[in-house]
Structure 1
């Protein structure tokens, strides 16, 4: 049951989206295209963030009242879904990945010194951040393969390796990375890795290239390949302790997966609304598209699937609140498989209903399709989540 405070926030959020976010989506993209470089903060984002913060629509994802709105995952769910309807909305409210997960890590696992240096500016959207985990030379779907080296050297750690798909690293305000690497190859499998805080201006940290997604640059955030060549950071930049990288990762990825699912549902809802409006106004073979049997099936299937995905994802949010990340892992895995796949199908139907316009830049559908396809890989591919779900079922046995 949504609390009164969350319901009030949702009402205000929806009003802000209608008045400020949707009307400025084209302005945002126009400013990005006309910027001096592909990766620059468009002025409209600063304006929207200032307005959102003034209205108290800020850091809504953080359950810790000290830092955010103090909402449970279940109460945050409908807000996150609404934000997912727009590419720019999560950033407007300072609720966009990877900063959300990184802020959670700093809030829960970092020293007071690291919080003062990095968490406070992130909470204020003064800086951005990246999460350096995935590597080009190993199958990172099995995170135990992560092989970038973290080596202790006196009062510092020295880092060597290469990461890619480090979201946000191309943003002009990206100042810090949270880095997962192997610190002890001889330790038990899930205690070999550690997490370090690495400032972007550390000598030896070099952006190799920006990776496009189906041809989209994802400006101004970027997905970067980054080389770490004898990058040296103070020992106090270690999070929680050596060998505890997986522990931190599980704490970070649980809510992160939930947020991806919720934003996917919001995107699917918008695609369905667009499809319905389109088929009402278009005529083919003597009658409106809305009266064509196959179109009616698309609409019905989309509504059924979206509602199913929402129920599954909201259930995962409640389990996460009640029992924590580890206990909710299978519910989160199920939602993570279902929500992006549902959104992909709904967006695909909407594209089909729009015809040529659907694959053009005249609607948000083509870019939405590209984005949602990546979510079947991000935070674990479908196959890994399905394997986890199956193992859980196999352990249950028979009654």
Structure 2
């Protein structure tokens, strides 16, 4: 048995991992998209904001959309928070949704777990009056006007679509490595368009309402869960490479905090909910089988076995990343295999522990149930603070 374990650890595991990456990467590498000229203004924008108004960083960007913007917050904020938020809505003509529930947590820290964000989106959706809806984060902007994005969704006949996140900062080697990582991940959306981003996506209002009423509300992986539920319920999902600028972590500390939470979300999706993700074999083989289930075999390469597997994997990955990123080639690409190895060896096991911590903290295992149902409470006929479901400050 010793030679068999050695063969799997030293040769088969890296070959399988690289092969899966190669198949997906090569299939997605030359995918292209032709935008139409159709624009559609029949949409509204949902923006969750809570904890502190300072997190609402895209006010200037949102101001062009006026009453199409529905700011969504909780009933548990401070008087100062409401005063500041009401002033913003009055100045820019935004609408305001205040949920019936409060929240916990530190207002000075950005959330990496919890159910607040998705509960706000879910409960605010009945107030959307337009045919289409675009949920965006409080720091999200777009390169092109949202009318183009909604126009593409309509033109293509999609019910829900993912978009393309484009890292903007190159102020550190770590940020530049993430630029390569994001570029390939976004290209893979052509093969798995249901892997939407919470920072921005677009959908038919009725469809997203149906999806969010069945959502587990688990924060990490919440965006992909929405796309997965939509897929399981038979909706038409596509990828629109509509560029959405984003800022990636420049420091190791910020990167570590983000990736730890992401790794917990990946464990939830690929292992806890494997019965749904397994319907997408290529993705599950890589994320569930190679990355997580075969993790112990990778450590065998560092625990007394010959380092053949490590050398094989690194050599193959160097060739693969150079091929996939040839148009954007850089000497930094030589670091990508080491970057990916570090993520795989350290963040994967920590992510498992982090998932259980998040599940215990929020009393929520994040189990996907596409047929669950939830009916949000009806809006108040006459809004009364602090439960003013919709207010107009024009």
Query: Could you state the TM-score of these two structures normalised by the residue count of structure 2?
Result: 0.28
Q: Which structure has the highest strand share of the two?
A: 1
Highest RCO, 1 vs 2 (Cα 8 Å, sep ≥ 6): 2
